[in-house]
Every structure is written in C-alpha cells, then in structure tokens.
Structure 1
C-alpha cells in the first residue's frame, strides 16, 4: 500500500448495522466516573443522606485522588489538557481484576521515538501519558447522571442499561443513535482479525449533549454478550468538556451493560507509547472544499498472543493493545466489522448533530468526509480489500454513505459518508 499524507504530518493531496449502537458516551462517562462517587444534594431521601456543597467538594477531591494516578511528570498542552506521565505498571489498565499480574507485551521491534502525533513533548521512558481528570469532569458526570440521591455502581448500571442495548432495527431512530457507513454481512465461517483505514478528519458541529464520530468497530458475539473495540475520532462535549476533534477508543465485553469504557477511564487498554495519549486533540482539521487531512488508524490481532494492537499513521506506530483476557468472543476472533460515522443526539426529533464534514455529496471527496485504503484482516491474519459480496451499506433518514469501491493506488477501497443533521425535516442530501 502507498504511503499517504496524514494528520499532524504533511498536507494531503486534494481530490475531486444495522443501526450503530456504538459507545454510548454520555452513559459510560457517568458510569465510569461515578462508579464510586456519591451523587448528593442536601437532605435525606429513602434513608440515603444528602450532604452540603462543602462536603460534596471534599468528595470530589477524594475521587480525584483515586482516579488520577501519581505523576512522575506533568505535561500541559496548548489546548488546556493536563497529562500525567504515569509509571507504565501503575497505569489504569492494571485496575482490571484480570490484569493484576499481566506482563506488558511490547513487541521486540518496538522502539520509542518522537511521534508525528499526540504530545509535542512526550513522557519519560517507562511512563505513559494519562489525561488528568478534573473537578469539572466529575461535575459534568454528576449532571449527566441526572440523579439527586446517593448512588451506587449498581444504581448507575440499572439506570443506564436501557440505553446500552444494540438497536437492531435501522428504522428505529428514536433513541438518538444513528450510523452511516458500511458493514460486513455475517457469514458462517467468515471471521476477521482486524481492520484499518485512512479516516478524513473534520470538526462537525454538535450541541452540548451530542457527539459525532468517524470510527471503525470490530465486534463479536451475540447481542447481549457483544464484544467490541471501537476507535477513530470524535467530537464529544459530554466526555471531554470541549468541542475539539480527538482520538478516541472504546471497548466492552457485554455491549456496555457492565463492562468497558472509553480510552483509559477504566482498566483494560494497556498503553506503552510515551508520546501518544488515547484522547489527544487533532490540530489539522479538513475544510469542506479546502485543504484535506486524514489519519490512518488500525486495530490488528496478533496471531500468537491474541492481543489487539492499536496503531496510528502510515508507519503503523504502536500505541498499545487490548489483552485477549478482558474479552470473551474477541479473545479468539471477530465476526463483524463496521466503518463509518456515528452520532448521538438526546432529542433527535428536534435536532441531530452533523456527521463527517456536515455535507453529503456522493463521490465529492473535497466536500464529503471519506474513508480510504480500507482493509480488514481475514481468517489467516492477512490484510485484504473488503469484498463487496460480504459488505452492505447502512444509512438513515439524515445520514448517508455510498461510493464503496476500489479506485486507484491512492484511494484504494474507499467511500464517503455524512450528513447535515438538524431537525428531521431539515435533513437533506
């Protein structure tokens, strides 16, 4: 495959599902951050004690001392995030009960070096960058939970479980989640060990409780035991407190009913790249009918260790991996892949977020967001161009995808996706 110009690198050349369930960001942010946090507001209710603002503030500080691992060094970025450089063996991954004795599996050929991505100044050797949680993050999580009483982890899971279910009817848009893109057709005997693509990077407009992403989802298992790894870019004010375009990942072994999280908010993802955090801000953003940027992302399962390696860039720089131990079905293989755009709007009958570039013009990749150089890894761990005999399109009332085909050495297998969003009567091609 040819090298492409990628985000945070060189300028790129210009060129003339069923329904996604996705990582339900507002839900999982509240679940992860409030797992041990007490949601409170001032008097007794059903035997559960409310406390004062001062006591609430003390509780926030206590939670932050638990969530934020000790820092060997601290890095503040130009866009306001603070990253703690955490000892590689004290990172959040090892909070997972199945990883207590896990030995980090860094490939022999891996060498830490300056990166085109992530932090301008990387962390010291033997440490990894973990975004520092703030009091504002916890306040936002409390607001998202919409609870006025003391809540346990079990309360939170019950409260949100209805939203953490796969939507299997693409005509049912009422939950606010919508997907447009391409997906494999489940076929007996057809399995996968990874997927990747160059993803065009934009900054779609969203409202405070909405999100808009371009992502790849690698999945396996039946509905309520669904294992998946998702990765790509996202704009998500509820998760990050801003509307910047960021790298993101998400994982679960049961469709987020009780497991999984975004990035490093819980144990699971083993990080070993000292320069590239999982939630860094993309600084080079494409403009419709203007300059275009894309970034290559991939997740590929190792044929011996079975870990799922996460890579970035044309040189496939390793960021880290998800161990097979944290999964059930994905510990062996995947049976389903999706590539495309995903949005969430809590009041989608009144308004929905932009997807991709916010413009849909079929085949016009200077205006419409695209995936190019799309691949999957087949049953023999060999990269292959998706076979359209096993691929189907998924789009919705507001968002579209098309033009999935092999074009030339630069574009290879590619497609466009996106939409304007807005209210249902405003949605247009």
Structure 2
C-alpha cells in the first residue's frame, strides 16, 4: 500500500489564507459602509451581506465571549473572530458561485439591511470559455454544495491516504491513446484550492424538454427534476438486471423499460468489493433526441429495490445504493452531443437521494484539473485511432471515503455517510456496460446508438469495448475480475460479447448496437 498524507483539512493553505486575506482587505476598504454590530444581551444580528458571509455557528460562540468581555460595537470584534478562524482553519462561507447555487441568499434567516447593500468581495474566480462552448469557473473548494451545512464548512479530505496496489495484470493499449478533457488540453488546471465547475445554465433547458414548471433558482427542485423526471417518469430504472418491488413479476429486463443495457457482471463470489478499475473506449454515439442518452459506465451496488430503507446502529439498510461513473452523451442535460464525464449516486433506490455530477450535495470534488460534466477530446472513430479513459474507484482505508480517479488524477470522493446500506463499507455487486434511453417516438424503437453504433462481433477498432476490468478487495489490491454476460433487454438492438482475444487486456468485452434497423425492429406498444 502506497501511503501519502493522512491529514484531513478544511482547505489547502492557499485556500484558507487566500480567502481570509481578501475578506480582511474587503473589511478595511469598506469600513465606512459597514454598520456597527448590533448588541443586545450579546445577541448577534448581521447588518450586511459581508457580516452574513463571515458569521457561522462557531463564530457566534466566539462572538458571545467577546461581547460579554468588551460590550463594544466595533469592527475589531469581527477582525478578532477572523483571526480565530485562521487558527482553527474554519471557513464559514455560505455564499456560493452561481454555478453551484446562491445558497446564502436562500438559507440565511438574517434580515436584509435597511440601506444600500454592501457586496461581499469574493475570492477572485477565473472564468474560461472552451472551444466546446463550455463556460468553466474556478471555484473555491469550500463553496461546493457538499461542503456547506448552514454557514459552516465541513472538513474534507484533500487527497487519498493510500492508493490501490497493482496486481499481476498487464496491459497493452494496442495503439489506443488516452483521451483527455477539453479543459485540461486548453487550460490545464485551476489555481490550487479551487475546482473547475461547468456552468449549469444549459441544464435549465430541461424544463422545456420535460414540459414541467420548476423554480430554477431552487437547486433542490432542479435535483428533483433531474432524478424524478428522467429516471422515475418511466418504470424500471437503475442497474441492469435488478428487479423493482412494485411488481413481483417485473424485472429490469421487461420489454416496456425505456432503459436498455448491454453489460457484464462480476461474479458475486469475488466480493465484497472495495473498488474497481476499468478502461473505457470512448465514442460519441448518435442520440436521436434530447430526452435520450447513450453512455458507458460502471455500477458499484449494494442492496436491492425491495430492501428495507430503515437503518439502526445494529443493522444496515438493505435498500439499493449505487456509485456510478463513466462517459455520457445527453443533450438534454449538457446542451450538446459531446461525450462527457458523468458521476451519479443514490442511497435509496433513486427516490430522494443522489443526482448527476455536482448538482446536489454528496460527491466532494478536490481536483483542480477535472471538470465533472466536462467533454473529452479526441474520441474514437471507426477503423482509426482508438481513445480511452481509465476510471478507478476505491475505498480509502483511513477515511472510508470512496475515491474516484480519472486517468491517474484523484477527482474527489463519495463520503460513506451519504449511503444507507453496506455501501458504507463495501459493494456487493459490480457491473460494467452501456445504457441508452429508448423514448419510443412514433411507436418504434429509437435509432440511438450504443457504444460506437456497431455490434460487438465487429471487434477491435469498430465496436466499443471495456477492458482490463479489475476489482479491489480488503487487501487494497487490484485483481482481474471474472465476468459473466448480463441479459440484455433488447439483444437484437444492443448486446455485449465477452472476449478472450487479447490476453493483455485482461477481462474485457465488446458491446453496442445501432438501435432501430433491419436487425432491431422492436415496436413500442406501451405508453410511457
């Protein structure tokens, strides 16, 4: 096991001290515009947004002590509080960049000032417009959803305490080249202490796509829309092969499911699983309409749809929990048809928890190089250079966090506390494959492609593949996985084939299909 820093920090040095320095400068420059603290029996009431941004629960306790000792209404009290915050490395900023939602304006119960507002001087944020049209902002790590509770910033792990050990598996790319994100190619990285966040304006287009009315300023409604409309407006969702409890005779394989898969399953006897690794061949498949998507991914799974959601100190919840990531083409979510990195999770069978990417609390991003939701470049073409990405997920020994690594770069982690079941410690199942949404327009199967749009029998450089599939057990070592073929919902439209063609690819398979065609003539008879 390769050990690195075991420290958990609320920020890197530049992050905390950079923010504090700028806040102090802001206080000094705006001193004549800030109302004095209002003291009545040492109860604090903010009179400006600046004060609201600084004050948190920890600060209130410190302020009360200061107040009782001095009973003075001076700015010195605020400065003293800031010095204490520096000592304890606590940054109580609730304000967030518009890309993450203006949580301060909605969450604070402090009254608006009675005169002209004083704008909070934020830490400088760099903004970039990429060649793919994305607008990316460099946002302080502390200001993402997952690290803000009230006005306090939750301590976080800046880097994993260990890395998984490589087993006996060997790998040969056979001429394939690693795909990188457009942001990394054109920008490189955000400053230390910040993360690159893709602006979310495009996802507001979902309201017109799904014909629903939402308060777009409420990120909870947006999260609800992303989950319930896309995943719950139709039956039988989630990992392939898992049954829904609402109908004991129905499974994810039923013909009326809009989610169609081609996938493989790691033998459960090899579990429990503390992580996995896979190399995904990356394409930009044709997707028929914005309501549909095409993706390649892994699923780490515990529990089931029929499980009990109740937890206690003596037992785990047995409801479905998942960790998911891969690449995805989804115009309805991203505003274009580029292949993009996505992440997803749920702790209650896709009901009220979890979301895509950084659209809700859960996943904590720490990398300043990776854009969650960002596009990849280049992508594979038939009978041409093949491009790949490597994904690794492992449970950190020291913290219990589930770390995601993209192309050797730790992206961030899913904290164990967000899960309700065995996923807090280990996954029970691991699956790999492709997935599409079939909207059934005009009463026939969609033309949306999976993978490259070609069937697996076409082989290397034509069909999409996933290779060097490995899993991690308690010893934190990667081992080649034994995989079996999962049952596709529409095998005439999309299918997978396990291959032994390339020994240095370890466990690998080809998969895909082109949707409605002479081979795939599935007619849609169910109203969705």
Question: Which of 267, 274, 287 in structure 2 is aligned with 1:206?
Answer: 287
Superposed, 1:95-244 pairs within 5 Å as 95=148, 101-107=154-160, 117=181, 118-119=183-184, 120-121=186-187, 122-134=189-201, 136-138=202-204, 140-147=205-212, 161=232, 163=234, 165-166=237-238, 168=243, 169-187=251-269, 190-207=271-288, 208-223=290-305, 225-244=319-338
Show the counterpart of 1:52.
Answer: none
CA contact (8 A) 1:175 1:346 kept: no
CA RMSD of aligned residues (A): 3.1
Counterpart Cα distance in 1 of 2:498 and 2:159: 39
Q: How many residue pairs are counted as aligned between the two chains?
A: 354
Structure ID, larger Rg: 2
Superposed, 1:16-415 pairs within 5 Å as 67=101, 72-95=125-148, 101-107=154-160, 117=181, 118-119=183-184, 120-121=186-187, 122-134=189-201, 136-138=202-204, 140-147=205-212, 161=232, 163=234, 165-166=237-238, 168=243, 169-187=251-269, 190-207=271-288, 208-223=290-305, 225-313=319-407, 316-329=408-421, 330-347=423-440, 349-352=443-446, 353-362=448-457, 364-388=459-483, 391-397=484-490, 398-405=493-500, 407-409=502-504, 411-415=505-509
Shift of 1:378: 2.3
Counterpart Cα distance in 1 of 2:200 and 2:366: 20
**After superposition, what is the alpha-carbon deviation per residue over 1:190-213, rounded to whole angstroms, capped at 9, x for unaligned?**
310111111111110002211000
Shift of 1:66: 6.8
Shift of 1:301: 1.1
> Secondary structure, in 3 states, of the residue corresponding to 1:337?
strand
TM-score (norm 2): 0.61
Higher normalized contact order (CA 8 Å, seq sep 6+, divided by chain length):
1
Unaligned runs of 5+ in 1: 1-62
Unaligned runs of 5+ in 2: 1-96, 104-121, 164-178, 244-250, 307-318, 523-528
> Secondary structure, in 3 states, of the residue corresponding to 2:376?
coil
TM-score (norm 1): 0.74
- In structure 2, relative to structure 1, the CA distance for the partners of 1:68 and 1:248 (3 Å cut) is farther
Counterpart Cα distance in 2 of 1:413 and 1:92: 37
- In structure 2, relative to structure 1, the CA distance for the partners of 1:425 and 1:403 (3 Å cut) is closer
Counterpart Cα distance in 2 of 1:283 and 1:127: 23
CA contact (8 A) 2:404 2:413 kept: yes
Shift of 1:106: 2.1
- In structure 2, relative to structure 1, the CA distance for the partners of 1:379 and 1:363 (3 Å cut) is farther
Counterpart Cα distance in 1 of 2:386 and 2:228: 43
- In structure 2, relative to structure 1, the CA distance for the partners of 1:89 and 1:116 (3 Å cut) is same
Show the counterpart of 2:29.
Answer: none
